[in-house]
Amino acid sequence: MAGVKVLLVEDDPSIAAVVSRGLGDAGFQVAHVDTGAAALAAEGYDFVLLDLGLPDTDGLDVCREIRAKSNVPVIIVTARSDELDRVVGLELGADDYVVKPFGMRELIARIRAVVRRGGGVDSPAASTDIVVGALVINEKMREAAIDGNALTLTPKEFDLLAYLAAAPEVVHRRHDILEHVWDTEWYGPTKTLDAHVAALRKKLGNQDWIEAVRGVGFRLRVPAE
């Protein structure tokens, strides 16, 4: 994703420096602003990382105004972990919601996952298959295969597998998976998620493809030989 221009909206200079350096090392071009007004005045970017606690306005208002005029991908990156903020942010059009503190690998993986799902930033990359070891997923055709052998998946099984595979090795929280794969206001039992994970493991042919992280969620990883 070299050449992708990221607008980083963050009022904490120490966090901004770390994120800018990490994204730069990953090949992104980063422009940093520290107010909502500067974010709304900025132009020529492909992606937005948006803090909510800005000095001049609430980041949710910035998200609303960005979405009113553009389809540019937006990931909210904030210390606010309250479920209401998450739901409001996603309903206002944010593509993902990351709570501080976070790791750069996770943030970059989430950016790439949003790009793959939306295809708006980097069309060539977005149109390619997701490849994780022997697993190949074609989101456009909604097809998946291991070692060239097609997998027969239900729609929700495919959505779950594609979501996990878009950011392999990253631990996805149960709440995040339910929001993205089922519904942003999911209030049902999480046993539905467990049932789909169990079905996927069986169809993938190896339980180790999907690892359960106790008390957190799940991650997709290539099984050890």
C-beta of residue 219 within 8 angstroms of C-beta of residue 213: yes
Any idea what the Cα angle at residue 129 is, between residues 123 and 133, rounded to 5°? 140
Q: In angstroms, rounded to a whole number, what is the distance separating the alpha carbons of residues 173 and 88? A: 18
From the list 116, 114, 219, the residue with the least C-alpha distance to 173 is 219
Structural domains of the chain sorted by starting position, each given as residue range(s) with its CATH number in brackets: 5-124 (3.40.50.2300), 129-220 (1.10.10.10)
Per-residue confidence (pLDDT) for residue 122, from 0 to 100: 45
| C-alpha to C-alpha distances, 7 to 39, 43, 85, 123, 142, nearest whole angstrom | 8, 9, 21, 19, 31
The predicted-structure confidence for 58-100, as pLDDT tens digits, reads as follows 999 999 999 999 989 999 999 998 888 888 999 998 988 998 8
The predicted-structure confidence for 96-132, as pLDDT tens digits, reads as follows 899 888 888 788 888 887 876 665 554 444 445 788 8
In single-letter form, the type of residue at position 22 comes to: G
More confident: 168 or 37: 37
Is the pLDDT at 37 greater than 50, yes or no?
Answer: yes
Per-residue DSSP letter, 220: E
pTM of the model: 0.59
3-state secondary structure of 8: strand
Range scoring the smallest mean pLDDT among 29-38, 63-72, 119-128, 168-177: 119-128
Is the pLDDT at 28 greater than 80, yes or no?
Answer: yes
